[in-house]
Chain A
Amino acid sequence: MESALVVVVVAVLFGGMVLMLAMGYQSSEAERARQARARQADATARASAITVAPGFFASTDEAVAPAQSVFNETMLNQLEHHVRLEQAVVAQFVHQPSVDNLYRRSGTSLHAQ
């Protein structure tokens, strides 16, 4: 009788342990899946932010004219001219950093072209 009771107690204990292990495994798997979803959502949000960022500098009040969609040598020259002028101004900042040198006027702007 006593031995049967011991067997029952051991069986209950063993069953309980197995059940706890199974539940623990299930909850850790669920947590892992939740973290993976969170990582994916974070990566997607970062990617969208990167995709959207260039628009911050672009003009939003004008549609891009069809002519602009074709490569244009003049545009390239204007861009290089702009970079050269900007770089000449920035060179002063590199040698002597100051707010005045940083925002000194160069007489060129891509937005005006």
Chain B
Amino acid sequence: MQESLRAAELFDGLDAAKLARLGAIARKRTLESGDYLFLLGDSAQYVSLVVRGLVDLCLPITIGGVLKDITVEAVGPGKTIGWSALVRPFRFTLSARAAAPTEILAFGRPEFEELFLADPAIERVVRKGISELMVGRLTMFQALWARELQRALDPGRQAASV
């Protein structure tokens, strides 16, 4: 487990002692391909770290009257999913589905908060990692939206660019 925690982007910079404290509150979970870890709108109670396998983050879209989950991002080992557990209103904004046999480490919000109180250095690192994750997601969706809007307004312009 220590090795997985050391490889996690979210815990980048934390020493072995602090990683051990994180390991003490982590819960291991395995998923089969196609299993859902959470659904959009679910109460977000835990942040997860992908240890092995692949998790698709999906957005539900209706195609021909049928609601289907479209993969918008694939998350592999070392990456974090479920930042909504640390940010109000504590609801998942995408669904997460295993794209292969997957192993994760889950960190419950109450345990995280208790640890943050006991060790503010861990909180600083985790909050920084969560902020970077959110900025990346925001920027990605902002760009995807801008590109679709640009196409709708002026389909010829994008084809002519770069």
Scoring A72, A84, A87 by chain B CB atoms within 10 A of each residue's CB, the highest score goes to: A87
Q: Is A83 located at the chain interface by the 8 A CB criterion? A: yes
Q: A85-96 toward B: CB 8 Å interface, digit per residue (1/0)? A: 011011101100
Knowing A71-B63, A71-B66, A111-B155, say if A103 contacts B140 (CB, 8 Å). no
Closest chain B residue, CB of each to CB of A72: B64
**B63 contacts A91, C-beta separation under 8 Å:** no
Given A109-B151, A109-B155, A111-B155 in contact, is the A103-B161 Cβ separation under 8 Å? yes
How big is chain A's contact interface, by range? 20 to 34
Describe B's contact surface by its main secondary structure: helix
State whether B70 touches A79 (Cβ < 8 A). Answer: yes
Q: Which residue of A lies closest to B146 (CB)?
A: A102
Cβ-defined contact, A90 with B72, below 8 A: no
Q: Which residues from A are CB-within-8-Å of B66?
A: 71
Q: Which residues of B contact A111 (CB under 8 A)?
A: 151-152, 155
Interface membership of B158, Cβ < 8 A: yes
Docked complex Cα distance between A90 and B144 (Å):
7
Chain A: interface secondary structure? helix
Q: Is the CB of B64 within 8 A of A75?
A: yes
The answer, among A75, A93, A100, for a CB contact under 8 Å with B63, is A75
Q: Which of B144-161 contact A (CB under 8 A)?
A: 144, 146-148, 150-152, 155, 157-159, 161
B152 cross-chain contacts in A, Cβ below 8 A? 56-57, 111
Interface size class of B (residues with CB under 8 A): 20 to 34
Is B71's CB under 8 angstroms from A80's CB? yes
Which A residues form the contact surface with B (CB < 8 A)? 56-57, 68-72, 75-76, 79-80, 83-84, 86-87, 89-91, 93-94, 97, 100, 102-106, 109-111
For this complex, 30 residue pairs linking A to B, each with C-beta atoms less than 8 Å apart, are A69-B64, A69-B65, A71-B65, A72-B63, A72-B64, A76-B68, A83-B144, A86-B144, A86-B147, A87-B73, A87-B144, A89-B147, A90-B143, A90-B147, A91-B140, A93-B139, A93-B143, A94-B139, A100-B161, A102-B143, A103-B150, A103-B158, A103-B162, A105-B158, A105-B159, A105-B161, A105-B162, A106-B147, A109-B151, A110-B148
